[in-house]
Amino acid sequence: MNLGELVSALNDFASLSLAESWDNVGLLVEPSPPHTVNTLFLTNDLTEEVMEEAVQKKADLILSYHPPIFTPLKRVTWKTWKERLVIRALEHRIGIYSPHTAYDAIPHGVNNWLTKGLGACTFIPLHPSTAPSYPAEGTHRVEFCTDNTEHLDTVLSKIKGIQGISCLTTLPARVEGEEQTRVTLSCSQKALLEVVALLSQHSLYHKTEILLLQKPLLPHTGMGRLCTLSEPVSLSDIIKRIKSHLKLPHIRLAVGMGKTLESPVKKAALCAGSGSSILKGMEADLYLTGEMSHHDVLDAVANGISVILCEHSNTERGFLSELRDMLAVHLQNKINIIVSEKDRDPLQVA
């Protein structure tokens, strides 16, 4: 499969527009064309050990959930491990692609997979994603009415000459018993200033309504998940379920003030990876994430919310097996897809 075709297919699987603005997603390292991909290699973190595994397994493209290039590189030398990753990838003609928070947001992504550790539940995004574009061209809608037809023709002629105007319509309207013409248009932020100046010049601004258009929310898409369990379950049972789902021998636990291991959990807020900013302030019986700051844990506990921490990548890595199967279907089994065996969380209990 051609690299360009594969990258396009990966972008269709999860639009990169859903990634957070601070993130660095997409194709990060590209071998010189033409580049054919026969083997796609999945990993949560691209370490040097994982890179050597990818080389040994003759990978043509590495999909690394976390972007190995995040802070801009000022040089590519052998001195730092991330620079060495780029060198090794290019030496062996291996591309590197990272989806990161785009996979957090999608309905078939990491956070939905993490909800399975709670058992049967319904869930919604904690922070819903918005569509990449406005429902109409432009950022604002302008409406005004006038009963002066001659005057209106002059105004409309000038409006049409402003760049950034769209969806200009005129309709008959009855305002306070008088026959008038209602004008509606969409415009950009820059064009709005010219429209307002023009309407003011022709004494129409006092009759004008200006609406700020909002990008529509995308269903089932966004950061984090607020989960409502079908039946309340004790905190101790939830711990067992999460350990089983994530295949972990242990987790870290902070029990909410006034709660015990037998306290029921009906509502849980979760976020794969580092969840402090997403979970903070959410009302729930339980927070589930990979890591949180010490003070955010204290805040949650003081508010009677228990906290389960599983280490950052442990809340993400298990998704890769599910991802492999979904991508095989999405790519119509045209390429070989393998999951790293060397990829693991850097922290362990000693």
d(CA 331, CA 10): 9
Please check whether residue 211 is in contact with residue 144, taking contact to mean a CB–CB distance below 8 angstroms: no
312 annotated ligand-binding residue: yes
H helices of the chain, in order, are 3-13, 48-56, 81-91, 101-105, 110-115, 149-160, 189-201, 235-246, 276-279, 294-302, 319-330
Please check whether residue 2 is in contact with residue 34, taking contact to mean a CB–CB distance below 8 angstroms: yes
**Which of 68, 110, 103 is CA-nearest to residue 245?**
110
100 annotated ligand-binding residue: no
- Tokens 């590209």, located at residue: 30
Q: Check the CA dihedral 263-267-268-269 and report its sign.
A: negative
Q: Check the CA dihedral 284-104-65-275 and report its sign.
A: negative
Please check whether residue 306 is in contact with residue 254, taking contact to mean a CB–CB distance below 8 angstroms: yes
For residue 19 the two structure tokens come to: 């990634």
d(CA 327, CA 43): 14
316 annotated ligand-binding residue: yes
d(CA 59, CA 43): 12
d(CA 346, CA 19): 25
Q: Check the CA dihedral 8-320-111-329 and report its sign.
A: positive
**Which of 340, 323, 343 is CA-nearest to residue 10?**
323
Residue-wise DSSP of 265-317? EEEEEEEEEE-HHHHTT---SEEEEEE--HHHHHHHHHTT-EEEE--GGGGTT
Positions at the binding site: 66, 104, 312, 316
Query: Which segments are annotated as binding site for a divalent metal cation?
Result: 66, 104, 312, 316
